[in-house]
Amino acid sequence: MKHEYDIKDQRINKKKLLIISVVLAVLAAISYIGGVFWMGNLFMIALLLNALYRLFIKQMISLFQDRAWPWTIALYERQLRFFLKGRNPWYLFFGIIALFIFTIMLVGAAKPKVLFFPNNDPRSIYVFVKMPEGTDQKVTDSVTKIVEGYTYRVLGKNNPVVESVVSNVGFGASDNFFDASVASNKGKVTINFIESKFRGNISTTTYMDSLRELVRQIPGAQVTVEKNQMGPPTGKPVNIEITGENLEQLIATADNFVNYLDSLRIPGIEKLKSDFVNNKPEIVIDIDRERANREGISVGQVGLELRTAIYGKEASKYKEDEDEYPIQIRYSEAQRNNINKIINAKITYMDMTTGSSARSHFIGGIGQIQDTYGGINRKGLKRMITVSSGSCRDIRPMKSWLPSTGLPKTIPCRKGWR
């Protein structure tokens, strides 16, 4: 039975609703007549919200505060008294442990099909070009232009879903986002697409797959096609580590392994590449220190002579008005680009062992040229070469092509890889 105060409150509520509704309706009508439609819409929304609040929401709030919430508090109090009284706490303790074990077993028995970072339709596609170490920047630029031509062949001209195509050579061309170094042998073509909601039914993955097939035709360069990564950074989908003690044998094994896997043409795996650089453009001249000491030459003098021959040395300055121009002395281009002429050049020095007399000696007489590698990676004190691939689209076992390599018999690709 309703109290007289409740009946009075309902009358007041209906009276306020009627007054506010009439005022808002009049203001909305005036706004519509005056042509200010946005203000008229605003008054109509306020009218509807006010009516909704006074007819339904206010009663629901009162019902929750007066009945639902007190009932919840009373139930919580009864549960606390039950578990905290006598031996009942042990029921709660062992019940939580049993529930914990049950949830672990349930997840293991019926693994939920949850993909935290699902495969995305790429917003950007990157085509990385890597030439042999020491390649001139102009050569890398010419190869990058060929890749850019293949890109436009796949995308077509004036493609509505393409926002931009940007090419980099040397700087900003590394596949590592944090690598800001300059490398004349690296190039990158970046394809940026518009947002997915404006593409319609066009999938950018088809462009990436078609481009990956085309760039395989470029000889003498490592060309990889990747997409922008969503989620935390991860390694390559295919990553094989080869370790050993003998470096020459390790290099040969890695090369043979890469050739073997490439010959199988496994679907979904891009051309494998090794992280070992065996042709670094660096010439090491090993100075025989004992012989150099007998001749009265220091290693610093040899290094300074080589630097002067290749990079030059400032002999003087030429001044014209207020401007100064350094005068550099160095070998001619034909001499400094020929290692035999540099190693057979004479170094003139003051021999302190014979009373400061001037002498000359061939650099090749006290030093020998040696080969060098770009770098050697190690893992667990063992030399290591990593063979990787940036693409894996099929889920298939590899039992048929790893019969006796000692690797795991099954290396499945994860769902969603590209």
CA proximity to 382, closest of 283, 282, 241, 274:
241
Q: Per-residue confidence at 71, pLDDT binned at 50, 70, 90? A: very high
* Confidence at residue 400, expressed as pLDDT on a 0 to 100 scale: 38
284 neighbors 413 (Cβ within 8 angstroms): no
User: What does the chain come to in residues?
Assistant: 418
- Please list the alpha-helical segments (H only) found in 223-298: 247-264, 289-295
The C-alpha atoms of residue 372 and residue 389 are separated, in whole angstroms, by 26
- For residues 356-386, one letter each, b for 16 or more C-beta atoms within 10 angstroms of the residue's C-beta and e for the rest, the string is eeeeebebebbbeeeeeeeeeeeeeeebbbb
Highest mean pLDDT pick, 67-76, 276-285, 300-309: 67-76
187 neighbors 144 (Cβ within 8 angstroms): yes
353 neighbors 222 (Cβ within 8 angstroms): no
DSSP H/E element including 215 = helix 204-215
The whole-number average pLDDT for the span 297-312 is 81
Question: DSSP per residue over 382-412, as a string?
Answer: EEEEEEEES--------GGG-SSSSS-S--P
Rounded to a whole number of angstroms, the distance between the first and last alpha carbons of the chain is: 69
Q: Per-residue confidence at 256, pLDDT binned at 50, 70, 90? A: confident
The C-alpha atoms of residue 277 and residue 181 are separated, in whole angstroms, by 17
Rg from Cα positions in the chain? 38
E strand segments, 172-213: 182-193
* Confidence at residue 403, expressed as pLDDT on a 0 to 100 scale: 40
Q: Cα-flanking dihedrals φ and ψ of residue 195, to 5°? A: -65, 150
DSSP H/E element including 140 = helix 137-155
Number of Cα atoms under 13 Å in the Cβ half of residue 286 = 5
CA proximity to 274, closest of 236, 228, 328:
236
DSSP H/E element including 358 = strand 357-362
Q: Answer whether residue 410 shows pLDDT above 50.
A: no
Number of Cα atoms under 13 Å in the Cβ half of residue 369 = 10
The share of the chain scoring above pLDDT 70, in percent, equals 79
The C-alpha atoms of residue 355 and residue 370 are separated, in whole angstroms, by 34
Non-local CB neighbours of 202 within 8 Å, separated by 6+ positions: 161
pTM of the model: 0.50
CA proximity to 132, closest of 316, 274, 298:
274
CA proximity to 418, closest of 190, 204, 259:
204
Q: Answer whether residue 260 shows pLDDT above 80.
A: yes
Strands 313-320 and 323-329: antiparallel
Highest mean pLDDT pick, 177-186, 218-227, 231-240: 218-227
Which amino acid is present at 149?
Answer: G
| 95-112: pLDDT as tens digits | 889 999 998 888 878 777
Mean pLDDT of all residues in the chain? 76
* Confidence at residue 102, expressed as pLDDT on a 0 to 100 scale: 92
| 360-376: pLDDT as tens digits | 777 777 777 776 666 67
Q: Answer whether residue 271 shows pLDDT above 70.
A: no
DSSP H/E element including 327 = strand 323-329
Q: Tokens for 241?
A: 């580590």
* Confidence at residue 116, expressed as pLDDT on a 0 to 100 scale: 65
* Confidence at residue 69, expressed as pLDDT on a 0 to 100 scale: 92
The C-alpha atoms of residue 81 and residue 89 are separated, in whole angstroms, by 10
E strand segments, 1-159: 124-130
CA proximity to 148, closest of 211, 192, 204, 216:
211
Select the more confidently predicted residue: 179 or 214.
Answer: 214
- Secondary structure of residue 270 in the 3-state scheme: coil
